[in-house]
Structures are given as structure tokens and as C-alpha cells.
Amino acid sequence: MAAAGGVDLEPETWLVGDIGATNARFGLVSPTGKILHWRSHACEHYPTIDDALAEYLSDRAGLPMPRQGAIAIASAVTGDRVAMTNHPWNFSISALKARLGFERLEVINDFTAQALALPRLGPDDRVPAGGGGAVQGTPLGVLGPGSGLGVSGLVACAGGWVALTGEGGHATMSPATDRESAVLDHMRRRFDHVSAERVLSGPGIVNLYNTLAEIDRVPSKGYTAAQITDLGVRGEDPVCVEATAMFCAMLGTVAGNLALTLGARGGVFIAGGIVPRLGRYFVDSSFRARFEAKGRFEAYLAAIPTYVVTHPLAAFLGCAAVLAS
């Protein structure tokens, strides 16, 4: 469990949450969106979302019990019943609201929250990963590898922004080189559908590593995603080097596709838990070259800025935006 953030006494608090397949982060924010307190819980330690929430709310550091909340979750949210894509938790929104005794409970896709957070990010909450300049009032794109691959966008409207809710991480992955074609051909023998998430996520990096090892007929060392992308391990294993490089390049392909699809001339943002940990390696990788490599539209994409989101709790900002609306 991570350490709690700083605490201020407030007359009113809102519950916010960011739930992925690995960790569930819960926090309390003020109606102005200031993060007052938060903790992270390993999902595997709790049979249900209720159990994780109960533990968090029992340790609020003296802050008032919230009466409304918004939770961002790694799942398609299409009705009252929510079932996570990569984790066993499932629940009824209305029943959870009643059990919590809340007046209001919003549940949104985790990358809808990431999109809504974008206008609230400051200069210190993002790192440029290429050139270009934002065109004010045009759409923004956001995607991010973690336990899965989240994708969303943000479109300006009268008086604010509208987030696009979709499941773009499950779009079919396309190759850009012969080597990538060979990798995806091999993966199709294992999976009935090779989506972008199959290569651009924590499990996806492992898929890339194992597939490259199989193609090259070298033994797989059973590395985790963290080991494959670790600088020390990469220095000793050429398959790790290629898997990490291919991951960055393929992410550039998908990010460029998103920019073209949305007309995201306001910028494309890379969120999630993996890319920020790559640091300078990612900025110096083939990501940006691949992002721009769209033939006749290379100049169009070269003008679009790309950023890595470094704010550790950006989804909380998106949840607060939902409650403030």
C-alpha cells in the first residue's frame, strides 16, 4: 500500500478512484479538484471492489465521509453492470451507490478520465516526446499502455470539453515492417485476434519478447514486462532490446493512427504506467519517427505535439471534472 498524500481538513470531500487490473487507487478531493488524500490497493488482495473501498474509507485521515464520487475503471461502461476486462471484479453501479450511501456515483472508463484530465494538467505534468505545436480548440488524443491499452480523445464544445469513450486498444494491430509482420503472424497462431493491446501493454511486452525469441529460436528467459524494459537486463539480452524498441515503435504507429482519426492537432498524450518509467529512452526511441511515418500526411503529423503524461494521479483530475459538471 502506498503512502497517503498530504491531508487538509475540508468541509466536503468527493471520492475519486482509478481502478486497473493491478492496482485500485482511491482518493478524496475537494470540490475544487484539489487532491487531499489517497492510497493505492493491490486488487488481488480484495475479493470485491466493496472490500477495497471499505478499507480505504475506513482510513480517511480524519477527512469527512464523501457523499458523492466518481470512479474510473479499466472496462467498457455501457450500463449499470460493470465487468472488468482484465480482472474478475464486477458490480452494479446502482447497488454500489446504495451500499456506500452516496447521493451520486459516476463510473466511467479509465481513459475517459485520462482524457478529461488533459486540460487540468500543468507544464510539470507532461514531458514533450517530439516536436510540433498545439492548435488551440482542436481535438486531443490520449492512449496509454498498462495492464491493458486505453485510448480516448477530447473534443472542444461550447463551454468545455467532451470526452470520447471507446475501446480503441482492441482495434487490430497492423505491422509497419517485415519484422513486425513476422511477429504478428506468429501471434495470430496463438490468439484469435491480435489487437493493439496484445503488444502494447505489460502482457503485450511479454508477448513481443516471447515471440521474438521463438522466431529467432533462442530460449525465452521468462522475463516479466518490468525485467524486459529494465535498462540493466536489456544491456545483457538482445531480445529484450528489440522487444522494447518494437514496443515503442508500434506505440508510435497506433498514436499516429489516433491523431489522424481524431484530427488531434491539439496534441497526443501518452499515459499509463509503463511509458513514464522508460524515461529518456522513450523520448529517444523510434516512437516519434513512427508517429510521423504516414506517407503523404507526414507533414500533418510532424506539426502535432506528443507528450508523456507524468502526473501520477491524472485520472483523479478527470473524475473530479465529472463531479464538477
Query: For residue 4, is pLDDT > 60?
Result: no
Residue 10, pLDDT score:
61
Query: For residue 310, is pLDDT > 90?
Result: yes
For residue 317, give Cα distances in angstroms to 88, 179, 183, 312.
Answer: 26, 40, 38, 10
pLDDT band of 270, cuts 50, 70, 90: very high
pLDDT band of 86, cuts 50, 70, 90: confident
Query: For residue 6, is pLDDT > 50?
Result: no
pLDDT digits (tens, 9 = 90+) for 157-170: 988 899 999 999 99
Query: For residue 1, is pLDDT > 60?
Result: no
pLDDT digits (tens, 9 = 90+) for 94-147: 999 999 999 999 999 999 999 999 999 999 999 999 999 999 999 999 999 998
Torsion, Cα 91 96 98 100, to 10 degrees, reads 160
Residue 9, pLDDT score:
55
Residue 36, pLDDT score:
95
What average pLDDT does the structure give for the chain?
A: 94
When pLDDT is averaged across residues 65-92 and rounded to a whole number, the result is 94
Residues whose CB falls within 8 Å of the CB of residue 52, separated by 6 or more in sequence, listed in order = 24, 26, 41, 43, 45, 46
When pLDDT is averaged across residues 190-209 and rounded to a whole number, the result is 97
Q: Right CATH number for 14-115+313-324 from 3.30.420.40, 3.90.1150.10, 3.40.50.880, 3.40.1350.10?
A: 3.30.420.40
Query: For residue 7, is pLDDT > 60?
Result: no
Query: For residue 3, is pLDDT > 60?
Result: no
pLDDT band of 60, cuts 50, 70, 90: confident
Query: For residue 190, is pLDDT > 70?
Result: yes
